[in-house]
Amino acid sequence: MENKPTLIKQFSHTDLDGVGSALLLQAILQEQKGYVAENYLPVGYSEPGADGTIDKHVLNFIQTNEDPVTELYITDICPSDDVIAQLAAYCAENKISWHIFDHHITSVHVNENYPKNASIIVADEATNLKHSATSVLFKVLVGKMPTELFQDEVWQRLANVADIIRCYDCWDWQLNPNAAYKESAAEFNNLFYFYSWDKRIELMGSVMSAGLNLLFDYSEIIAALKEKEADYVRSKSLKAQFGVLDGKTFAYTFGEQYTSVLGNALARLEHPETKKEVDFSLVLNGKGVSLRTNNDDIDLSVLAARYFNGGGHKRASGGAFAEIQYFISDSENPAAPLNLFLDVKR
């Protein structure tokens, strides 16, 4: 029986790491196997959280797909356990190879259930660097971390792109004094979000092809965006309010832009009653919520899963409200029902 031509379906997250890992996968497979554009169906991109979860997109694929898919990949976002089970059954029935590349601690358990199909790794054992989806994918498919191949003749270009994305997504550019990229990681992210969705995909594809030197062509835009970011974060921080959730203090505000930078700025604010730095921050955007902390004793992935139908990392997580209701708990009685943020005003 003649083998079917390679046809790949991908699912990924919509942020810098999600788009980067989706296109990095294509670039690596082109280098290793010679795959070209005709080997790929359009990537299915998903927002995180209850209303934007990848589950509905994967289920729609399972229920409606008529294309002769031979390989399926998911990067930077993980379906629920039930949907993964359905996907595994569908792929087995249709002889589709599949793999998940992710780095969120809330999804690590998937490795145990599907050891041949899941590479969900939070940190690299050899370098001790925190992983993003791009670096997980690079390590698994190429065999080394991007930082270990900066001088490699074949992989240098993609290694630099993969690691600058990792540096931003893990906030390594700010927390790690030895990070390969400093301000340039945040600048790349700002440039990415400056454009409309289609242009973001185009920009990432161009950077994958040409390398990071391409960013010099955008230096004037990057400088203007940096000033805009600083003004935005300063303005929003001045409007921050404070609350208590699960016995922990937090600062919060509404923010549609620069979510990570704003969240980290809020996490450094002093609570007006305790006169100490807040335990964590919330940035609210519609139903979406982004959490950040500087406190190593707090695991935000737990809070995100419990209260916001989400997950993520210990110091950076996200999720969404089932309804647009903003709430806090009674710190004197944690078992009491959650109270709405009645005083929140946009």
Residues 42-75: pLDDT tens digits? 999 998 654 557 999 999 999 999 999 999 999 9
Confidence check: pLDDT of 335 > 70: no
At 31, list the tokens.
Answer: 């280098």
Spatial separation of the C-alpha atoms in residues 47 and 92, rounded to whole Å: 27
At 124, list the tokens.
Answer: 């690299």
Q: For residues 251 and 117, state if they share a domain.
A: no
Q: For residues 202 and 287, state if they share a domain.
A: no
Does the residue 71 lie in any domain?
yes
Q: For residues 147 and 181, state if they share a domain.
A: yes
Per-residue pLDDT band at 30 (split at 50, 70, 90): very high
pLDDT at position 61 is: 97
- The parent domain of residue 331 ranges over 239-340
Does the residue 99 lie in any domain?
yes
The DSSP annotation for 20-86 comes to HHHHHHHHHHHHHH---GGGBPPPEEE--STTT-THHHHHHHHHH--S---EEEEES----HHHHHH
- Report the domain count for the chain: 2
Mean pLDDT of 222-229: 93
Q: For residues 35 and 175, state if they share a domain.
A: yes
Confidence check: pLDDT of 92 > 90: yes
Q: Is residue 292 within 8 Å of 266, Cβ to Cβ?
A: yes
pLDDT at position 340 is: 44
Per-residue pLDDT band at 201 (split at 50, 70, 90): very high
Does the residue 234 lie in any domain?
no
pLDDT tens digits, 272-321:
888 999 999 999 887 788 999 988 899 998 988 888 888 888 888 888 87
Q: For residues 129 and 173, state if they share a domain.
A: yes
Spatial separation of the C-alpha atoms in residues 237 and 235, rounded to whole Å: 6
Q: For residues 90 and 196, state if they share a domain.
A: yes
Conformational region of residue 34, where left means phi above 0, alpha means psi within -120 to 50, and beta covers everything else:
left
Q: For residues 202 and 243, state if they share a domain.
A: no
- Nearest-10 Cα torsion for 70, 76, 80, 83: -10
Q: Is residue 86 within 8 Å of 62, Cβ to Cβ?
A: yes
Spatial separation of the C-alpha atoms in residues 155 and 178, rounded to whole Å: 21
Which residue shows structure tokens 């964590």?
A: 280
Q: Smallest Cα–Cα separation from 323: which of 309, 306, 304, 305?
A: 309
Helices and strands (H, E) in the chain, number of each type: 12, 13
Which of 84-88, 177-181, 204-208 shows the lowest mean pLDDT across its residues?
A: 177-181
Does the residue 129 lie in any domain?
yes
Q: Is residue 155 within 8 Å of 142, Cβ to Cβ?
A: yes
Q: Is residue 313 within 8 Å of 104, Cβ to Cβ?
A: yes
Q: For residues 53 and 180, state if they share a domain.
A: yes
Spatial separation of the C-alpha atoms in residues 104 and 77, rounded to whole Å: 8
Between strands 97-102 and 280-285, the pairing is: unpaired
pLDDT tens digits, 308-320:
888 888 888 888 8
Mean pLDDT of 222-231: 93
Q: For residues 24 and 73, state if they share a domain.
A: yes
pTM: 0.78
Mean pLDDT of 125-138: 95
Per-residue pLDDT band at 260 (split at 50, 70, 90): confident
pLDDT at position 77 is: 93
Per-residue pLDDT band at 180 (split at 50, 70, 90): confident
- 164, 195, 221 — which closes off a domain? 221
Per-residue pLDDT band at 247 (split at 50, 70, 90): confident
- Return the amino acid letter for 16: L
CATH of the domain at 336: 3.10.310
Confidence check: pLDDT of 343 > 50: no
Q: Which has more pLDDT, 179 or 32? A: 32
